[in-house]
Each structure stands twice: as structure tokens, then as C-alpha cells.
Amino acid sequence: MRVKKLQLIEFKRFTNLTINLETEPAKIIALVGPNGCGKSSIFDAFEEKAKDYKGGSSPSSYLSKAMYLETEEKTYNRNNQIKIDFTDTSKQFNKNSFYFRSSYRFTARIDATQIKKLPNIEDDRNRPQTSIDLDSRLHENYERLIGTFYNEVYGQNKTGKQWADENIEKLNQILKKILDITISSLGNPVEGKGKLYFEKGDSKNVPYENLSSGEKEVIDIILDLIVKASIYNDTVFCIDEPELHLNTAIQRQLLIEIEKLIPDSCQLWIATHSIGFMRALQEELKGKTQIIDMGNHDFDKEIILQPIKKTRRNWQSIFQTALQDITGLIAPRLIIYCEGKLANSLDEEIFNMIFAEIDHCLFVSATNKSESLRYAGVALTVLNKAFDSVKIRVLVDRDDDTGTLPRISDVSIRKLERLEFENYLFDFEIVSKVFPNIALDRWNALVTDSVNDDIKSKSKQIMVFLGETDYKQLRLKLARAITNDSQIYRDLQKIIFE
């Protein structure tokens, strides 16, 4: 069963929202957008539809937009406000049509103390009634797993080892692709060990409660799907923020495994702003996915949403949603081109060392002033196509003639106020921090004008004077002394960044 069209009228934040997946909806529908854009409200609508078959009350003050509009009648009728079209209109909706997991999935510990009769799976009595309710079905799933073991082993021809090989090994094979843990024992409620135990690294029989929140999250979702998939085999699955508590790499693999567990006759709706999930949707699951961009819409008006076209620009937009500011993480906001060799440039290394605490910038060398401008222009063109708001600057020596160079739009040229960078590096303020025994009058006799002298031409004399033999190492020593409490640091910072 797959949804192909959803319309919500005066439902939660939506005045009149239509999501149209057209005639061939995909297996995975990803609702992408920032917090508060209404992703979870879509799942509340599905859960409301499920109440037609599973029962449950409808909190109208929570679900009806009319409750918060002064001019509207304060009524709520889910049949009028929620309209869902499916691909196969001949099928009868039932208790298995929808299966919803809220984002508040939390089971701190499992502690089954008895073996008891459980209600039918499709009754789903412990389900959350809305997207803000706690979803704690892991304990019930554990009890169902124990019950399945007794049903399929006791009085049957199958041995316990055969059952474990078929069931626990299947679960462990999935867990090993996502986490570094496996189930080592189902426990035994009658012995006061009614919980799952795990093997984690060198540790054996680690109880469930000792696992991290992320590990519990994965076990909860995977075990739930394994227990339920045979019953919910013609179902619209809805999982709100499946990535909660998980790092990016685990997120990506988890979604891949979730898709495998859900039958192809079903549909999976997920609400996410996770970079890991987005990568899986873009790569491994791209042929099975439709993405609905929930961001930047005025839902007080009538809105019709359709799956985005999977162009680079659209991917860029939704990745920016996932990361809030992808530029700041993948590319620096400011690139400064300086002189120096293209490969292993000492100037580049020194500038990045001095201004390491300004984490949004990157210094890049480009041989000389004309090449710096040329590379800056190329970089600006490329980066502005890939990312938003990347700024390019070029740092040149004081006497460089930039008037004859080609003008490149939006590339800012910054000139040193001293002759060249060496005049800052070999200022007495910095030299005296590295060589505290050097007298000012003796230094001034060698470097008569720290602003205008050609310091590079005196490099050999300076090295002899300071007792140094390696000019590169000397420059690095001095660069480390240009800290943010020095006047030289402040002078450079003003020129480059202000």
C-alpha cells in the first residue's frame, strides 16, 4: 500500500496543504526541512487516519488549526480535514494500513518479569497517539521475541540453536553493518534476567541498559521492524526522525538497512534533516526515493508540494537544510590568496598558523600577485556555483601594482602597509619574544627601518646575528610568536579581515 496524495485542511499548522506524489509514488518518501516546518504534523495526520481502524481519541485542541484562529469555528473533523488517496483504491483499509513511530523513542531498560499473553500485533495498543507522545514499544517487542521462541521451538522439531541461527543471527548480521555490537543472549524472565544481552568489543553479556542512547535507538528500530514486518506487509510505515542520537555514518547505514527490512509492497515515510540520511537517499537509495522539501513555505496559504527534481541545485538546498550552513563545514566562508609556492607553501602555512583561531577562513598560496588574482577569480567562480556566501580576498605586498592587473569582480585586494610580510615577521616585538637577549639598539643597527627595509636581502646577516642556520625554521619560530596579544597580530588582522 502506498500513498499517492495527501490533503490537510485546517490541520495543525496547515491551512490547505496538498502533497502530490503523482501516479507512481516511490517506496521512500523523505520529508526534509528545518525544525518547526511541519514534518511531524504529516505523521499526526496518518495516525489520525489509523484511528478509524485501531481506535483512539483525537485531541482536537492539538490537531485543529481553527482552535488558534480567532475568526474560525472551533471544530475538528478528521474525515473532512484529512484526505488520503492510495495507489490501489480497491484495497480495504484496516489496522495494518499505517504503522507510526514517533521521534520520542526511549526505553531506558528492559525488565520482563513474567511470560504473559500479549494482544494481537495489529492492535498496536502501545502506539503513540500523536507525534509528541512517548514511543516505548521495545519492551513489548522483546516479549514478542521470547514468545516467538517458545512457539517455534517448544514441542516442535526445531532446536533452540536452529531458531537462534535463523532469528538472532539475522538480527546480528544487520546490527554488525551499523554498530559494533551483537546480541549474545535473549535472557530469561523467570530467572530475573528479562532483558537482551550483548557482545560489545571484548565485553560479553553486556545488559541492554548499559548501551548508549544511539545503540538503543538502532536496536529499537531494527528489532521493531523484524518483529512487525511479517504482519505489516501492506503498510505505510512512518518513522519520525529515525536518526535521533546517531552520528552521520551510522545514520546512513541505518536507513539502508531499514529499507531492506520493509517489504517492497509497503511505503516508508521519514521526517529528517540528517546529513547521513540525505547521503543515503542521494546515493544508495536514489532510485527508490521521492523528496518533499518542507522548507520556506507559507503554510497559512494554500500550498501544493511535489517531489523535487534531483538536480545539484536542489540537493544543495536540502543539504544546507540538513547542515544549517554547509558552507561553514565544507568550505570556509573566507579564502585569502597569498604569495608562495603552490605546493607546501611556507607562507600559506604561516598565515594559517597565525590566524588558526579564526576558523571560518583559509589561506591559500598562489605563486605571485598576478597568479593570486587569477586563482582567486577562478576559485570565486567555482565556489559560488557550489556554495553560497564564499568570499575571496588576495593579500599582496605594499608596492605591488594592482592597477594594471585584470579587475575581477567581488575579489577584494588587501595590501600590506609594510613593504612585505617579512617586515612584520622580523619586527623587534616578535624577534624579542623568540630571542629575549637581543638588545634593541643592536637590532636597530641591522634593521634600520622595520617598515620599509628590504628584509629578505638581509636574511643571511640576520641569521648570523641570531645564530640560526635554517631560514625556514627561523620564520616558523617567529610566526608562532605572532599571537593575538601582539601589536603585529592586530596590525595584520586589521589589514586582512576588516
User: Tens digits of per-residue pLDDT, 342-389?
Assistant: 445 788 889 989 998 887 788 887 655 555 455 555 554 545 544 556
* Residue 223 banded pLDDT, cuts 50, 70, 90: very high
The residues facing 9 across adjacent strands are: 16
Phi and psi of 9, rounded to 5°?
A: -120, 120
Task: Give which of 271, 279, 284, 211 is closest to 244, Cα–Cα.
Answer: 271
Q: Are strands 28-32 and 267-272 parallel, antiparallel or unpaired?
A: parallel
Side chain identity at residue 174, one-letter code: I
The predicted structure's pLDDT at residue 114: 79
| CA 452 – CA 461 distance, rounded (Å) | 17
**Domain-by-domain residue ranges, the chain?**
3-324, 329-497
What would the grid cell of residue 127 be? 502506539
Q: Which fold has domain 3-324?
A: Rossmann fold (3.40.50)
Q: In sequence order, which ranges of 55-157 are alpha helices (DSSP H)?
A: 60-63, 78-81, 138-153
146 or 408, which is more confident: 146
The predicted structure's pLDDT at residue 377: 52
89 or 83, which is more confident: 83
Task: Give which of 106, 107, 113, 108 is closest to 194, Cα–Cα.
Answer: 113
User: Who's near 55: CB < 8 A, 6+ residues apart?
Assistant: none
Q: In sequence order, which ranges of 181-287 are alpha helices (DSSP H)?
A: 213-228, 248-261, 275-282
Mean of the per-residue pLDDT values of the chain? 84
